[in-house]
């Protein structure tokens, strides 16, 4: 009986020990794997992921020469000293350099009140013209040679550009660094009129260059226009008008009965009539058959014309060397310094979404005309330069200003944002502006190629404009 009792106690003891061990194994399951060090592993034994070989520049396998036994010391982090806490000072604000932001302040401008009813108004129109000024004329066909297509190099960024500003120049494929006019056509191509290099057509990755050898009447192209048929018109600096229909060139010069040699503008109006502005012979209209001449005898302030703009009422605003003429139906209005203009040296006019007119001067900045007053913007308030060559309104009604020696400016109604060579512009002598369907602004310069600007895409911050260091290894978005 006594022996039986002892056997029961022993069996009970070992059964409890087994349950304890079993419970421990369930709480902590340790996995052991024996590693084979006789050769390299091609896969990770734990995860099954592949292991790539390490190779040198000659694609040769790098073999390990020495086996190093790793004998790490295990440290319990709870035994370490607590890390020190430091109180940081407020971060120092560093202004980005380069871009000039000038907030608009209505108190910094003065208005010059005018009475538009006093503007001189006279009779005008084709019906009032002397019949001798109407000529039946046909553009003469020119022997044409279509130039080959050349690959274009990628537009590049200059220096440390803050905004998305890149440019094309001769090294990227343009025929000249001097871009007198730029035009975005219905096929999404960019046409560049150059000073001596003819016309360059840019498709985004290709160039085609037209010059006198291909049928262009002159290599000095001052203005470009596309009509509703897709024909491209070019105004030259000595050989009148040239037109390209996609296959052949046609010209209109002295030999064809057209007496104007230097052409400052070409424009097709809402009715399909071609308007031609000359340096010395006034304005011409051409309907495809009849060429009509308008001069000071017909109401123009001067025979030297600079630019034209058609407003929302189909009125034609023509800038001359002695003021502005507004042609409306069978009448013509005249606006001079006596009626409120800041100067007669006018380069361009444009109308914004609020039906205000912006007038660019070659020496006196910009005037805003609302029908009742003129407000001047110049280098004493918001502009960095008073010599303004061109104006452009983009798809969101921002005003873009091309200045000669002051760079390029965007005015969004709240501030003037100026960019120049210090922040990515190829040059500060900007002559002409154009925009495309992607929101890019194309700016032709006088000797520095063609800039492509897009403020909506990205900004580049670096040591040159405020960042503490150019080497950035991590970036994170905060909750704000």
Question: In this predicted structure, which of 124-133, 170-179, 408-417 has the lowest mean pLDDT?
Answer: 124-133
Q: What is the pLDDT of residues 359-387, one digit of tens each?
A: 999 999 999 999 999 999 999 999 999 99
Among 118-122, 275-279, 388-392, the least confident range? 118-122
Position with higher pLDDT, 216 vs 87 = 216
pLDDT of residue 24: 40
Beta bridge partners of 122: 332
Q: What separation, in Å, do the N-terminal and C-terminal C-alpha atoms of the chain show? A: 84
Considering only CA atoms, which of 391, 307, 404, 323 is closest in space to residue 362?
404
Section 215-225 average pLDDT? 97
Structure tokens at 247: 């296959």
Average pLDDT taken over every residue of the chain:
84
- Beta strands 120-123 and 100-103: pairing type? unpaired
Give the pLDDT band (50/70/90) at residue 22: very low
**What does the alpha-carbon distance between residue 219 and residue 132 come to, in Å, rounded to a whole number?**
32
Using a CB cutoff of 8 Å and minimum separation of 24, what contacts does 402-405 make? 402/430, 402/431, 402/432, 402/433, 402/443, 403/428, 403/430, 404/429, 404/430, 404/431, 404/446, 405/429
Q: Are 17 and 10 contacting, i.e. CB atoms less than 8 angstroms apart?
A: no
Q: Look at 18 and 195; give whichever has higher pLDDT.
A: 195
Sign of CA dihedral 427, 433, 437, 439: positive
What is residue 255's predicted lDDT score, i.e. its pLDDT?
82
**Whether the Cβ atoms of residue 360 and residue 391 lie closer than 8 Å to each other:** yes
Tell me which residue of 248, 165, 173 sits closest to 205, measured CA to CA.
Answer: 173
Q: What is the pLDDT of residue 196?
A: 96
- 321 pLDDT more than 80: yes
pLDDT band, very low/low/confident/very high, at 30 (cuts 50, 70, 90): very low
Output 184 or 80, whichever has higher pLDDT: 184
Q: What tokens appear for 207 in the block?
A: 């160039």
pLDDT at 342: 95
- Looking at residue 440, its pLDDT comes to 94
pLDDT for 444 equals 97
Query: Closest Cα to residue 419, out of 402, 431, 432, 434?
Result: 402
CA–CA separation, 452 vs 430, rounded Å? 12
CA 174 to CA 191: how far, in whole Å? Answer: 11
pLDDT at residue 95 in the model: 45
Report pLDDT digits (tens) over 425-471: 999 999 999 999 999 999 999 999 999 998 775 444 555 544 556 56
Once rounded to an integer, what is the mean pLDDT over residues 122-138? 74
pLDDT of amino acid 173: 95
pLDDT band at 62 (very low <50, low <70, confident <90, very high): low
The pTM of this model reads 0.75
Question: For 225-243, what is each residue's pLDDT tens digit?
Answer: 999 999 999 999 999 999 9
Q: What gap in Å lies between CA 308 and CA 387, rounded to an integer?
A: 19
Determine the average pLDDT of the residues in 200-221.
97
């Amino acid at each position: 009986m006594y022996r039986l009792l002892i056997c029961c106690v022993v069996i009970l003891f070992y059964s409890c020990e087994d349950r304890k061990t079993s419970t421990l194994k369930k709480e902590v399951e340790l996995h052991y794997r024996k590693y084979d060090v006789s050769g390299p592993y091609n896969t990770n034994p734990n995860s099954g992921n592949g292991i790539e070989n390490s190779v040198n520049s000659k694609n040769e396998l790098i073999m390990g020469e020495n086996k190093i036994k790793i004998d790490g010391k295990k440290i319990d982090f709870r035994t370490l000293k607590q890390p020190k806490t430091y109180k940081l000072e407020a971060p120092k604000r560093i202004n980005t350099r380069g871009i000039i932001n000038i907030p608009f302040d209505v108190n910094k401008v003065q208005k010059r009140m005018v009475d538009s009813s006093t503007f001189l108004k006279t009779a005008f129109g084709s019906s009032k013209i002397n019949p001798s000024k109407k000529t039946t004329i046909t553009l003469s066909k020119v022997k044409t040679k279509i130039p080959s297509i050349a690959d274009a190099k990628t537009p590049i960024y200059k220096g440390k550009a803050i905004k998305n500003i890149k440019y094309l120049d001769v090294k990227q494929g343009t025929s000249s660094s001097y871009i007198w006019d730029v035009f975005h056509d219905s096929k999404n191509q960019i046409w560049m009129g150059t000073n001596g290099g003819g016309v360059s057509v840019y498709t985004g990755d290709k160039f085609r260059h037209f010059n006198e050898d291909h049928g262009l009447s002159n290599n000095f192209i001052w203005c470009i226009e596309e009509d509703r048929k897709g024909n491209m018109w070019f105004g030259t600096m000595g050989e009148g008008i040239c037109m390209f229909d996609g296959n052949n060139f046609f010209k209109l010069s002295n030999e064809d009965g057209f007496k104007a040699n230097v052409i400052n503008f070409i424009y097709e109006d809402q009715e399909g009539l071609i308007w031609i502005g000359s340096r010395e012979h006034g304005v011409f209209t051409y309907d495809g058959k009849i060429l009509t001449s308008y001069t000071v005898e017909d109401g123009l302030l001067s025979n030297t014309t600079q630019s034209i703009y058609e407003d929302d009422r189909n009125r034609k605003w023509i800038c001359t060397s002695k003021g502005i003429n507004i042609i409306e139906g069978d009448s013509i209005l005249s606006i001079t310094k006596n009626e409120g203009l800041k100067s007669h040296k006018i380069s361009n006019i444009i109308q914004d979404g609020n039906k205000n007119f912006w007038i660019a001067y070659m020496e006196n900045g910009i005037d805003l005309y609302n029908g009742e007053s003129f407000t001047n913007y110049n280098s004493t308030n918001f502009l960095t330069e008073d010599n303004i060559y061109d104006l452009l309104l983009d798809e969101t009604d921002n005003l873009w200003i091309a200045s000669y020696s002051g760079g390029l400016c965007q005015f969004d109604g709240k501030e003037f944002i100026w960019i120049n060579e210090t922040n990515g512009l190829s040059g500060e002598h900007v002559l002409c502006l154009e925009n495309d369907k992607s929101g890019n602004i194309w700016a032709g310069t006088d000797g520095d190629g063609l800039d492509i600007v897009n403020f909506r895409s990205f900004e580049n911050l670096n040591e040159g404009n405020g960042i503490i260091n150019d080497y950035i290894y991590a970036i994170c978005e905060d909750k704000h």
